[in-house]
Amino acid sequence: MTDKTYDVFLSYNSEDHEAVEKIAIYLHDQAGLHVWFDIWEIIPGVFTMDQLEQGLSSSTTCAVFVGKTGEGPWQKREVETALRQQIHHSEFRVIPVLLLDAPRVPELPMFLAENMWVDFRGKGLNDDVALWRLECGIRGMAPGRGRPIENQIENLVYLGKIYQTTGSVKEAILLYEKALELARNKGDRRIEGAILGNLGDAYAKLEELSRAIEYYEQGLNIARNVGDKENEALWLNNLGNAYKKLEETAQAIECFTLSLAIVRERGSKDFERFILANLGYTYYLSGNISQALAAYNQALDVAQEIGDKWGEQDILGQIGLLYQEIKNFSQAIKYYTPALNLAQKISAKHSIASLLFGIGYNYALQQKNDQALDHYQKALHFYEDVDDTEDKAAAMMTMGHFFVVAQEDFETARTYMKNAVKILQRLNSPRAKAYQEILAKVSYPLGIRYVEQGRWYDGLKLLEEILNIYRQNNDLQARVDILYQIARTHQLMGNFDKANLYYRDAQHLEIEASDKNLPE
227-247 in b/e form (b: 16+ CB < 10 A) is ebeebbbbbbbbbbbbbbeee
pLDDT at 90: 81
**Can you name the CATH fold of 387-520?**
1.25.40
In which residue ranges of the chain is pLDDT below 50? 1-2, 518, 520
| Residue 377: CB atoms within 10 Å | 12
**Which residues lie below 8 Å from residue 128, measured CB to CB, with a gap of 6+?**
147, 152, 155, 156, 159
* φ/ψ of residue 31, rounded to 5: -80, -15
DSSP state of 117: P
**Which residues lie below 8 Å from residue 115, measured CB to CB, with a gap of 6+?**
93, 94, 95, 96
Say how far apart CA 173 and CA 156 lie, in whole Å: 10
* φ/ψ of residue 90, rounded to 5: -65, -25
Q: Where along the chain do its domains lie?
A: 8-145, 387-520
| C-beta separation of 11 from 75 below 8 A | yes
> Alpha-carbon dihedral of residues 399, 405, 409, 412, nearest 10 degrees?
10
Query: What homologous superfamily does CATH list for 8-145?
Result: Toll/interleukin-1 receptor homology (TIR) domain (3.40.50.10140)
| C-beta separation of 98 from 46 below 8 A | no
pLDDT at 2: 44
pLDDT at 105: 64
Say how far apart CA 215 and CA 221 lie, in whole Å: 10
Global pTM?
A: 0.68
| C-beta separation of 130 from 153 below 8 A | no
| Residue 520: CB atoms within 10 Å | 2
DSSP letters, 302-363, are HHHHTT-HHHHHHHHHHHHHHHHHTT-HHHHHHHHHHHHHHHHHTT-HHHHHHHHHHHHHHH
Say how far apart CA 182 and CA 117 lie, in whole Å: 27
pLDDT at 110: 54
Say how far apart CA 461 and CA 495 lie, in whole Å: 15
CA-based nearest residue to 65, from 34, 33, 109, 95 = 95
